[in-house]
Amino acid sequence: MTVTTQEEAPAPKGMRWNWNRNPKCVALARSQLRKHLARCQAEELTDSAVLLLSELLTNSVRHAQVPGREIETVFEVTEELLRVEVSDASNKVPVMRHVDDDAEEGRGLSLVAMVASRWGTDPRMVNGQYAIGKTVWFEIDRKAEL
């Protein structure tokens, strides 16, 4: 008989967290993503993934100002890719902007487009049903990071 301890158990492929719309959630979410990537033995994705998560989650905190609604993050790691989703209750779809060289903000989605293998925005789904808001996501091919 083989006994598997929690440390030896395989890491779950996907993790989901809900966050209050507060700037502090960005650092907490980055920490959870780092831990999840380590458990999934996908540390090679950490720098890019944490950077892009910060951009998307910061956008939700700043722009999805729907009182009483949480922001949800989903991290999924497979052998082929990492997918990160950030869902909020705003129906306003983010738009990539062209900014002046001296602008202090507005480059987040351009950065996501440069670093991610793919990214996009979908209507928010909860239990297979359309819900209030949207999901902004990115994927990073694991083989591209090697």
pLDDT at 131 over 70: yes
Q: Higher confidence at residue 125 or residue 57? A: 57
pTM, two decimals, is 0.85
Q: What is the pLDDT of residue 6?
A: 47
pLDDT at 133 over 80: yes
pLDDT tens-place string over residues 24-82: 999 999 999 999 999 999 999 999 999 999 999 999 998 887 777 889 999 999 999 99
pLDDT tens-place string over residues 42-55: 999 999 999 999 99
Tokens of 132: 């209030």
At 112, give phi and psi (nearest 5°): -60, -45
Tokens of 30: 């980055």
Residues 17-94+108-145, CATH architecture:
2-Layer Sandwich (3.30)
